[in-house]
Amino acid sequence: MTGNIYLTGFMGVGKSTVGRLLAQALGRRLVSLDQRIVRRARKPIPEVFAQKGEEAFRQLENEELAKLANEKGLVVDTGGGAAISQANREVMHQSGRIVHLDACLDTCRMRLGPHEVSTRPMWQDADAVERLFQARQEAYADCDLRVEVDHLDAEQAAQTVAAGLLGVNEFPLELEGKLCLVHSSWEAAAALSEVVKDRRVVLVTDRKVAGLHGGRYPPVLGDDLLITLPPGENSKSLKTAERVYKQMLAARIERGDMLLALGGGVMTDLGAFIAATYKRGIDFLLASTTLLGCVDAAVGGKAAVNLGPAKNQVGCFTQPRMVLLDLQALATLPKSQRVEGLAEAYKTGLVADPELARLCQEDMALLLGGEVLGLAQVVRRSVRAKAGVVGQDFREGGRRAILNFGHTYGHALEGWHRYRLGHGQSVAGGMLVAAALSAQRGLLARDQAESIYHTVKPLLPVDLAWAPADEAWEIMLDDKKNIKGKVRFVLLKEVGQPVVVDDVTPAELATALALAREV
């Protein structure tokens, strides 16, 4: 999914404008093939044609395209004629996906405008332009995605291309006999229409999410009850839940109504907790708008609030009607939130999906840079891997414990920082400690441990303050995953082979923590 996107189409169809908007939407860099040729030839394209002929120009075009094919994460405006070469199309297919922006000749002429048409000699011969247009249609048809743009403006065309590239991905997740549909797409809000039909819906979100994404949901939900809360972990409390209960009571929300929690892990955890406990439970939906929420909090059936520094101490297991993974929202995330989600996704890969772990290791720089198609692939692999574990062990009686890799020390680190350190960064620190413990015990080969260190390091702040082993141990003694007072760690034999242990000593932790600090 991190391969290049090549835009093809006749001159005037809007490749450069749509390409710019598409690159912005998908967190990619736009490259113009024609501009690359101009820089290399050091002269405008008409001069290249006039002095060296079309064959020489096409050779330059082929060579520059081959160079671009060695890069990743680009949106490439290929120029009107690049696709006529089968060799060029093979290069594009092998290194990415071809998107044909299709429009009639009149649309192309109109979008070029009178001045552009008058300065291009080819457009002075209507028959010649028509013949050229028709001659190229077979080559343009050799594409991965065709989008008709005659009746779309540039922004609409870019959104349509993004939606087409990402597609719709759905699968049912069974949680203790109750089915939950997990849906991911660029236009996730539209998927709600049938589920919420003829039902009153309470939309619970935070103020920041409401500003960024709230406008896409009310048209589907109708004019019901909107509750906005302050963003951040401090909202995940019994006090906040009580405030929401009172607003729902005042609006006469009944057991036959529904609740939609929109946002990251804080909102989906809190919303699920409120829905599960309000009038002994109402139906609810979760729409995740953060990478961390998509890969972790939204799928799992857990709902909880915090008690002071003790995370998720009051909660229950719940079964949402539907989980939406809002891929369009991924494009709005700052790097700090991408770090949060990638830490959890990498954790899931290490314990349950080696291919996901490999994707994170190989493309971490692009993913941290916000490349949305790659992030979407990480989301979809993560959520399926986690769903596979959760479906087998809903109430965390056995296998589900493996998803706590990195969380034992990670939660202690997060609590020690009073939640000023993000959950994902805390888990990243916990993964370093768990990998170091695994290597110390001879479970994990050195090269695999080094690979984990290398992948996790960019996820951590340079000046991270580590919770001392003795202070972290005191916090870990209150971990809800403990059994008979024993602190449980998830370690690795190798990627994809986790093991749960309860015999780590404070001294072992101190040694592993020293190694983590050194890394």
Q: What is the mean pLDDT of residues 397-404?
A: 86
Q: Are both 4-165 and 168-332 of the same fold?
A: yes
Q: Which fold has domain 4-165?
A: Rossmann fold (3.40.50)
Asked if pLDDT for residue 30 goes beyond 90, the answer is yes
Which residues are designated catalytic?
Answer: 280, 302, 344, 386, 396, 400, 404, 407, 411, 423
- The DSSP string of 378-416 is HHHHHHHHHHHHHHH-TT-SSGGGGGGTTHHHHHHHHHH
Q: What is the mean pLDDT of residues 68-97?
A: 95
Q: What is the mean pLDDT of residues 81-91?
A: 94
Q: What is the mean pLDDT of residues 76-85?
A: 92
Asked if pLDDT for residue 115 goes beyond 80, the answer is no
Q: Which of 91-95, 106-110, 299-303, 419-423 has the lowest mean pLDDT?
A: 299-303
Residues 6+ apart with CB under 8 A from 301: 175, 180, 317, 318, 319, 320, 390, 394
Which listed CATH number (3.20.20.370, 3.40.50.1970, 3.30.70.240, 3.40.50.720) goes with 168-332? 3.40.50.1970
Residues 6+ apart with CB under 8 A from 191: 168, 183, 185, 322, 324
What's the pLDDT score for residue 369?
94
What's the pLDDT score for residue 420?
87
484-511 pLDDT, tens per residue?
778 999 999 999 999 999 999 999 999 9
**178-185 and 145-148 as β-strands: parallel, antiparallel, unpaired?**
unpaired
Domain borders along the chain are 4-165, 168-332, 396-518
CA–CA distance, 99 with 106 (Å, rounded to integer): 21
58-71 pLDDT, tens per residue?
899 999 999 999 99
Mean pLDDT of the chain: 92
What's the pLDDT score for residue 121?
64
What's the pLDDT score for residue 102?
97
User: Terminal CA-to-CA distance of the chain, rounded, Å?
Assistant: 31
Phi and psi at residue 283, to the nearest 5°: -60, 145
Which of 203, 202, 204, 192 has its CA nearest to residue 254?
202
Which of 274, 22, 334 has its CA nearest to residue 147?
22
CATH class entry, domain 396-518: mainly alpha
Phi/psi-derived region of residue 29, left when phi > 0, alpha when psi is between -120 and 50, beta in every other case: beta
CA–CA–CA angle 323, 355, 301 (5° rounding):
25
Which of the four pLDDT bands, split at 50, 70 and 90, describes residue 182? very high
